[in-house]
């Protein structure tokens, strides 16, 4: 059996080919050659839930290097830190929905910069007049994080998804403070403005907030499926932004340390094109190299304008009988 690791060879090749690509020459080449290059190294553009490979699992421990405040925060304004009953009391938990929302934002922003002239892309993520959240099924956010159009029923499964667990060692701190000025930048659990009894003028604001003390470990598993090298890099870069924005509060950003600063706790498992093929496992310096190759490819692909909108592919579904059809026609 060969000891060669296919995924790192593939990513090295992707980084080299994208780095060496001359856009003028590339875009003048036959369409089929362009499509084949894009599919191999840049994007699996046709969104089809039945595509599973490569299947990548990246797991380890996120550590907060600053306070993580409870309450709504971050660009998505979601409740990010939650509490779970665990062992002898409450322990903190990072909301998976919040991570999914934070993950989508930098991808949507990048998409708007590239394809903002498409009204679907520029409206993606906003609410429609019917009160539905509109998702365009074309942009990098929809392509990687999954999307659903409640009006048409069209949907694309997520290619990338993060799940976190309860922090077993996370300490939740209740903080009581007062200030002359009204507090901004954090969401208090409780506050009270003390008035001067004679003039009714505000004297001070008393408030209470909760945060997770630095040093808590949060287990995290991220799944990537049906992604080319550049898509993996785009997703890893979007997570870098998410980890920096989680736990906003008290005038400072909550800060989670992930696989970039400390890959020590992280492991990547890769299945290239079949569940039966040997699983490849990457850790330490090799994992750091993989992350670097993928992110570099993503950066250069964007610079060279190789990214394109996704396309929901339901053509293969036409041959699939619905349950009603099967019942009417019999099992044959």
Among 109, 117, 97, CA closest to 140? 109
Q: Which is nearer to Zn ion, 265 or 308 (CB)?
A: 308
CB of 143 to Zn ion, least distance (A): 8
Binding-site size, Zn ion (CB under 5 A): 5
Q: Which is nearer to Zn ion, 172 or 312 (CB)?
A: 312
Q: Where are the beta strands (DSSP E) in the chain?
A: 46-47, 55-64, 68-69, 72-73, 78-79, 81-86, 89-94, 147-148, 155-156, 160-164, 172-179, 190-195, 202-212, 217-225, 256-257, 267-271, 280-283, 311-312
Q: Which is nearer to Zn ion, 207 or 310 (CB)?
A: 310
Q: Which is nearer to Zn ion, 145 or 248 (CB)?
A: 145
CB of 27 to Zn ion, least distance (A): 25
Sequence-separated contacts (24+) of 148-157 with Cβ below 8 Å: 154/312, 154/314, 156/47, 156/49, 156/310, 156/312, 157/47, 157/49
CB of 82 to Zn ion, least distance (A): 27
CB of 308 to Zn ion, least distance (A): 13
Taking CA 110 as the corner, what is the angle to CA 158 and CA 235, rounded to the nearest 5 degrees? 40
Q: Which is nearer to Zn ion, 56 or 124 (CB)?
A: 124
CB of 232 to Zn ion, least distance (A): 19
Taken as a whole, the chain contains a residue count of: 332
Q: Among residue numbers 94 through 153, which ones bind Zn ion (CB under 5 A)?
A: 124, 136, 139, 141-142
CB 310 within 8 A of CB 114: no
Q: Which is nearer to Zn ion, 18 or 307 (CB)?
A: 307
CB 95 within 8 A of CB 66: no
By CB under 5 A, residue 312 contacts Zn ion? no
Supply 142's token pair: 């929809």
CB of 217 to Zn ion, least distance (A): 33
Q: What residues line the site for Zn ion (CB under 5 A)?
A: 124, 136, 139, 141-142
């Amino acid at each position: 059996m060969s000891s060669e690791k296919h995924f790192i060879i593939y990513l090295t090749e992707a980084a080299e080919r994208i780095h060496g690509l001359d856009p003028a020459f590339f875009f003048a080449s036959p369409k089929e050659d362009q499509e084949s290059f894009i599919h191999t190294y840049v994007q699996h553009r046709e969104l089809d839930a039945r595509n599973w490979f490569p299947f990548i699992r990246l797991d380890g421990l996120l550590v907060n290097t600053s306070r993580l405040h409870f309450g709504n925060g971050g660009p998505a304004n979601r409740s990010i830190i939650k509490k779970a009953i665990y062992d002898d009391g409450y322990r903190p938990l990072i909301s998976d929905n919040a991570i999914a929302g934070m993950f989508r934002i930098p991808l949507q922003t990048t998409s708007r910069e590239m394809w903002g002239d498409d009204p679907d892309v520029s409206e993606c993520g906003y609410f429609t007049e019917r009160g539905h959240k509109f998702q365009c099924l074309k942009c990098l956010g929809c392509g990687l994080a999954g999307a659903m159009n409640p009006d048409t029923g069209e949907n694309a499964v997520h290619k990338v998804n993060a799940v976190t667990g309860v922090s077993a060692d996370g300490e939740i701190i209740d903080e009581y403070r007062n200030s002359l000025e009204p507090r901004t930048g954090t969401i208090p659990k409780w506050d009270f403005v003390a008035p001067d009894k004679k003039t009714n003028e505000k004297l001070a604001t008393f408030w209470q907030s909760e945060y997770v003390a630095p040093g808590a470990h949060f287990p995290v598993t991220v799944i990537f499926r049906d992604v080319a090298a550049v898509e993996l890099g785009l997703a890893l870069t979007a997570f870098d932004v998410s980890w920096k924005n989680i736990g906003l509060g008290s005038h400072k950003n909550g800060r989670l340390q992930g696989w970039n600063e400390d890959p020590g706790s992280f492991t990547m498992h890769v299945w290239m094109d079949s569940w039966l093929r040997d699983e490849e496992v990457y850790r330490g310096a090799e994992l750091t190299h993989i992350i670097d190759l993928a992110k570099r490819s993503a950066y250069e692909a964007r610079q060279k304008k190789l990214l394109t909108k996704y396309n929901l592919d339901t053509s293969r579904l036409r041959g699939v009988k619905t349950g009603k059809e099967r019942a009417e026609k019999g099992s044959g």
